[in-house]
Every structure is written in structure tokens, then in C-alpha cells.
Amino acid sequence: NFESADDAIHYRQSAFGLIAYQFGDMSAMLKGKKEFNADVFAQRAENVAALAKLPAEGFIAGSDKGNTEALAKIWENQADFDSRMGEFRENAAKLAIAAKGTDKDAIKAAFMNTGKSCKGCHDNYKKD
């Protein structure tokens, strides 16, 4: 368990940072900013699917104070927040499956859905 709110904040931010790096690289490949490498993309998607399981644990009660962009609304709308986190994990898992295949349109669609999960939560629960 976390020893302080700061520890919990650091934990979830670390996970989000790793997710953002994977996501940024996949985005660059899909946008043609770098060459699409199916193996690298699939590995990154796997990484996101695994990492997506981590941040929820770091949103402990009282951790809206400190070095965080998380809004107190999270803890006032816990069921919605948990459900969005769950959708994110599901979308990331689907992306990892799509990325093992060769259907680029399916990969793109799964990537967009996962990105919508990111954005949906940020729009509602992250400081601007």
C-alpha cells in the first residue's frame, strides 16, 4: 500500500507517463510521421494493455491534493470514473488484439477508441 498521497500520485503518474510514450509512438506510426513497424506497434499496444491496469490503484482517497492534475470530481463520481477506467482497459486490450493482425483499418479504429478513452477521462477529470 502507499505510504502517502504523494506516493499514490507518483505511482499513477508514472504509469500514465509510460502509457503516453507508447501511445505517442503508435500515433506517429499511424500518422506516417515514422515508418509503420507492425511488430513494434503490436508490442507497444501490448504494453498499453498491461499498463492500463495500473493507474486506477493510485487514485486513493485524499490524493486530489498535491502535485496532481486529478480533480476532486473523481472521488465524487467514483462509479463513473471506475467505469471509464474499465472501458480504457477494455479498449486497450482490444487494440492489442487488433495490433497482432494485419487489418490496418481495424488497428486504426481500435487505436482511436483507446484514444477516446484517454480524452474522455481527461476532459472530465483532469485539470486543464
For residue 126, list its beta bridge partners.
Answer: 70
Among 14, 27, 113, 124, binds ligand ASC (CB under 6 A): 27
Nearer to ligand ASC, 33 or 119 (CB): 119
Q: Report yes or no: 64 and 70 within 8 Å, Cβ to Cβ.
A: yes
Nearer to ligand ASC, 20 or 72 (CB): 20
Q: In whole angstroms, how close is the CB of 19 to ligand ASC at the nearest point?
A: 8
Tell me if 115 contacts ligand ASC by CB under 6 A: yes
Tell me if 74 contacts ligand ASC by CB under 6 A: no
Torsion of CA 110, 106, 97, 58, to 10 degrees: -10
Tell me if 118 contacts ligand ASC by CB under 6 A: yes
Contacts with ligand ASC, residue ranges (CB under 6 A): 20, 23-24, 27, 115, 118-119, 122
